[in-house]
Chains A and B, each alone.
Chain A
Amino acid sequence: MGKQRTRSERAARAREFEDFVAGAAGRLLHVATLLTAETRIRNPYAQELLAAALAHAYAVRERGHDEDPYALTRDGLALRFARTARRHRTGRGGILGALTPTERLVLVLCLYEGVPEEQAGALLGLPEARVRAVCARAVARMRSRTGKGAAA
């Protein structure tokens, strides 16, 4: 009886995870692709990052943590990227290819994902003022780049 219930519980949780991935994977993969500065069509590093972050979120959920899975996966993605940022210094044709990995992280977390600066700083181990400064610099660099692109 007990075993039966755990099995059905596990199946329900697996279905829940599948639903979550079906709903959120597109946006998360977009975030990962922005971070690694790959293109929409060819993004093997972003897919690997997302698969690792999703696997971790799945394992943590199975252990019974009751956090928002989206935030959990996104933060895991950001941290994994921050750890391997040296590999992604040069862009691979993405929109943010001209920025440094830290600038990309801050820009994506604060502007695209709308994470509060304080929270992003805590996640990345940066003071809030620095997050704000990096964000402003990244915005300025993006604007100067697109401005030049439009003028050319």
Chain B
Amino acid sequence: MRQGDKEAAVRRLLDTPHPPVPGDLAARAAARGDRARRRERTLRRTGGALAGIAALAFSLWAAEARPWEPPPAATTPPFAGP
């Protein structure tokens, strides 16, 4: 028996009548999909808002602290006197 015939035999074996589908499947799936999409959108918006707030806070702090400037010398060189 060729491989093709064997595959056809198994295919016939799989081709049984379809199981009965619950009637509210479409409505349940649509509601679930809507919920998932809304949750995703909320998460994305929250994340975006948080990122914006973080960027704003960083620029305010940087403008205030100016971390790129060398700090003022904290010590003075030893002075032996004239």
Q: Are B18 and A30 in contact (CB under 8 A)?
A: yes
Assess whether B14 is in contact with A25, with CB atoms less than 8 Å apart. Answer: no
Q: Mark A28-72, 1 if CB is under 8 A from B, else 0.
A: 011001100000110100110011101111110011000000000
Taking a contact as CB atoms under 8 Å apart, the answer to whether A29 and B34 are in contact is no
| Residues of chain A within 8 A of B28, CB atoms compared | 51
Q: Which residues of B contact A87 (CB under 8 A)?
A: none
Known contacts A95-B14, A139-B10: A41-B29 contact under CB 8 Å: no
**Minimum CB distance partner of B40 in chain A:** A59
Judge whether A59 and B34 touch: CB under 8 Å.
yes
B65 CB–A CB distance under 8 Å = no
Please encode chain B, from 25 to 64, with 1 for each CB lying within 8 Å of some chain A CB and 0 for all others. Answer: 1111110111011001000000000000000000000000
- Contact check, B37 vs A63: say whether CB atoms are below 8 A apart: yes
- Assuming the contacts A29-B19, A47-B22, A107-B10, asked whether A55 and B36 have C-beta atoms less than 8 A apart, the reply is yes
Stretch at the interface among A15-23, A77-85, A118-126: A15-23
Among B19, B27, B40, the most chain A Cβ lie within 10 Å of the Cβ of B19
The yes or no answer to B15 lying at the interface (CB within 8 A) is yes
* Complex CA distance for A43 and B18, rounded to whole angstroms: 12
**Ordered nearest first, which 6 A-B pairs have the shortest CB separation?**
A58-B33, A54-B29, A55-B32, A21-B26, A26-B18, A59-B33
Interface positions of A (Cβ within 8 A of B):
14, 17-18, 21-22, 25-27, 29-30, 33-34, 40-41, 43, 46-47, 50-52, 54-59, 62-63, 95-96, 107-108, 111-112, 136, 138-140, 142-143, 146
